[in-house]
Structure formats: C-alpha cells, structure tokens
Amino acid sequence: MEKHNNVHEMAVRLWNHYPERVKLNEPLRHYTTYKVGGPATALCFPANTEELQDILSLCHQENVPVYILGSGSNILVHDKGIDMVVIRLSECCSEIRHKENIVYAGAGLLVSQLVEYCERNDLAGLEFMSGIPGTVGGALRMNAGAFVGEIGDRVVSIDAMNYSGELIKMSGEEAGFGYRRADRLQDKIMLGCELRLLSGNRAELEKSRRDYLAQRASKQPLDYGSCGSVFKRPPGNYAGTLIEKAGCKGMRIGGAMVSPKHANFILNYHNARASDIYQLICEVQRIIYEKFEIWLELEVKLLGFSDEEEKKVRQPE
C-alpha cells in the first residue's frame, strides 16, 4: 500500500492529542466479522461527538481521508490495510431512550442491544432484525433488513454529521432508503436515529426474537467468519439459489469457501486472506454470469482495494 505522508502525520497528531483513543497501524482484522484485513494508519475511538467533530475537522483541513467503521460485519478489508484515519463510534454514540413509541438509538449501539431494549419496553416492530451483527449506524447506512422488513421502514429522523464536522438532521424520507442502500446517507456519518415502533408484548417479542435467531442458526453458517450475504438479490431471483444451481457450494480458494450450508455466504473457512475471499467472489461472479447471464452485485463493501479490483467486481469484463 502506498503511504501518504499527510495521513501518517495526521495519525501521529491525533495519537498525541488522544493517546488513549487512537491506535496507530492497528490491524482491522480484529474489527471485522470476516477476521481478515491489514492495518489502518490510525484507528480512533472518539469518546463523544465533540471529539468526533475535532478529529473530522482536523482531517478535513488537511485533506486526510476518513472511513467510518461500525461492527465491520459488511466489509472486506484488503490484506494490505488502508492508509486512512478510521473512526469507530462504539464509545461515543451509544445512547438509547424512548418516549411513548419513539425510540432514539445511537449509531454506535449494536442492533442486538436495540432489539433487546425494545423488547424490555414492550415496543414491537424491529424483532426481524434479531441476529444482524452490526451497529445501528451500519444498519442505517446499509438499510439492513431481513425476513419481513428493513430498518428504513421505521426511521423517523436521523442525526448525522458531514465529513467536515457539521451536524445535520434529516427525516427518514430524505435518507433515500432502498434495497440495501440509503442513497443520501453515503456522504454522511450517522450519529443516531429516531424510530417509530408499535406497542407490543414483552413475552411475545422475546418469542419472536428467539424464533428469528433459531431460523438464522438453522440456515446460516454462523461458526465461521463471514459478512452475511455477499451478493444482493438480483431482480426476480436469489443469489444463493443461482450459486447453488451452478454447483458452487463448497468451492474453495485458499482459506475461503462458498458455504455448503448457505450458498450466498463466502466463509473465512481456514485462515483465509482477504485476497482468497476476493478471488472467490470474482470466480463465483464469473461462473454465474457464464451460466445465467446475471451479474451478481456485491452487498459486501470492499475497503482498501484498487480501482482495478473494484472495477472487476462491478461489471463483467
């Protein structure tokens, strides 16, 4: 990876300023569910929004690229790592409260914490998200969903910040939620959101949560590192069905394998490198395109990959 002096200088500057909140050259494999990925020049854990604002405005002034990391459950980080300032909001945006049926959830909270909070307070409408291993911020950015819904269906408003550190308030409609995307959130940092829930019954909500978790455990290979579904659903079809029909289940490159249990999961089966997973993604796309003339679009986000590598997975050659 080509290192840029201004990123390195900024990393050291941030580390001098917040020695307990900044790690230099920190391997990102510790912060992704794939458990792969090289180091970030700096990984910051701001303690509050003022610190976040400070880090962002310093980086903005010096033109230093910033990346926001949630739980790392939908990203594949290159083995070489990334020459950027990476910010994780787990320490600073973890507020949760509710008034009547409106819940405010900080972006750094885990989806599981949000679902359990709703359950404890007899609030229904997010049980289907049980088992999604990301943060609220990542769920908003991805419009995460499962079974019967997506988080975007419940969003009333979003508190965000732009990359120069200015606060922004948006309504749910303004976010541009679509299938696994939120078009107008791409250039923003989620801080928290208000969600409209329904009144529910704790015991029923608990049962529903357990049922969803059991369904996941029966269908998904949860014992290995993964990013969940690698590919989006192509129109009128399912990526997993196509991959299975093409006979790709169990296919391996290095330590990566197409799950024999759920064909849309590519696993870190045995000490995989990000390059193994990437190559297997390319191979599956090529096979599906040859057999069905369908190009599978990635749901997982690549981080630290070259333009050439990004282009290869975006469209057939």
Ligand X SMILES: Cc1cc2nc3c(=O)[nH]c(=O)nc-3n(C[C@H](O)[C@H](O)[C@H](O)COP(=O)(O)OP(=O)(O)OC[C@H]3O[C@@H](n4cnc5c(N)ncnc54)[C@H](O)[C@@H]3O)c2cc1C
Residue 165 near ligand X by CB under 6 A: no
Residue 228 interacts with ligand X (CB under 6 A)? Answer: yes
Active site residues: 180, 229, 299
Contacting residue, 49, 74, 264, 285, with ligand X by CB under 6 A: 74
**161 in contact with ligand X (CB under 6 A):** no
Nearer to ligand X, 170 or 227 (CB): 227
- Whose tokens are 């399912």? That residue is 238
Per-position x/- string for 119-158, each x denoting binding to ligand X as judged by CB under 6 A, each - no binding? -------------xxxx-xxx-xx-xxx------------
Q: Which is nearer to ligand X, 226 or 275 (CB)?
A: 226
Mode of pairing for the β-strands spanning 155-162 and 188-196: antiparallel
Tell whether residue 71 is a contact of ligand X (CB under 6 A): yes
Residue 41: enclosing H or E segment and its boundaries? strand 39-44
Q: In Å, how far are 204, 307, 309 from 216, measured between CA atoms?
A: 18, 35, 31
DSSP structure class, residue 50? H
CA atoms of 191 and 189, how far apart (whole Å):
6
Q: How many residues bind ligand X (CB under 6 A)?
A: 32
| CA 156/CA 136 separation, integer angstroms | 14
Q: Shortest approach of ligand X to residue 199 CB, angstroms? A: 25
Cβ neighbours of 315 (radius 10 Å): 10
Minimum gap (Å) between residue 76 Cβ and ligand X: 9
User: Tokens 């981080």 correspond to what residue?
Assistant: 303
Contacts of 217 (CB under 8 A, 6+ apart): none
Residue 190 touches ligand X, criterion: CB under 6 A = yes
Helix axes 49-61, 5-17, angle to 10 degrees: 150
For ligand X, which stretch binds (CB under 6 A), given 77-85, 222-230, 250-258, 279-287?
222-230
Whichever of 57 and 289 has its CB closer to ligand X, that residue is: 57
Q: Smallest distance, Å, CB 66 to ligand X?
A: 10
Which residue do the tokens 């269906």 mark? 153
Task: Verify binding: residue 75, ligand X, rule CB under 6 A.
Answer: yes
Which of 47, 215, 190 has the alpha carbon at shortest distance from 111?
190
If the CB atoms of residues 184 and 249 are measured against ligand X, the closer one turns out to be 184
Question: Closest Cα to residue 222, out of 159, 311, 130?
Answer: 130
Q: Which is nearer to ligand X, 220 or 285 (CB)?
A: 220
Applying CB under 6 A, does 73 fall inside the site for ligand X?
yes
272 binds ligand X (CB under 6 A): no
How many Cα atoms sit within 13 Å of 54 on the Cβ side?
14
- Per CB under 6 A, residues contacting ligand X are 33, 67-75, 89, 107, 132-135, 137-139, 141-142, 144-146, 189-190, 220, 222, 226-228, 301
